[in-house]
Structure 1
Amino acid sequence: MYPYKSAMSEINTPALRHSNWKLELEEKDLEIIHKQRVNGRDFLKLTEEKLLRHPYNLPGGPTSRLADFAE
């Protein structure tokens, strides 16, 4: 379903936006990720705790999906 960790360096906001990984993220969630310049290996370090806090402050649903994606 999700890409292998070795392919994570290819992940960026446009890849998430146009992916078939069923993350169901809203545009405002993607903009937060984009503004923080998160891509590639950064995704591997994202945790649910980090995504809920500043500077992300994402709602619970997107936070859970992104944290699962990063695992």
Structure 2
Amino acid sequence: MQSLKRNQGIDIDESAAIDIARAGCQAPTAGVGLYNAQQKLQQRHPEYDISTVALVMAQGVLAYCPERLP
């Protein structure tokens, strides 16, 4: 959370960030899997816009499941 705020200027609730990061680590990477996951997360956390959700998801993948990266 602190690095998101410090580096990206994103102030996000910890439970929302964890949910988004977990979803990023579990989302299918083929086709539109990541896009669909982002859309569902934005609906689950409407207080955050889609670009914030996408950025938090990407940072979560980097931090928690980098093996998913190509």
TM-score range, shorter chain: 0.3 to 0.5
| TM-score (norm: length of structure 1) | 0.37
Under a length normalisation based on structure 2, what TM-score does the superposition of the two structures give?
0.38
Q: Which has the higher helix share?
A: 2
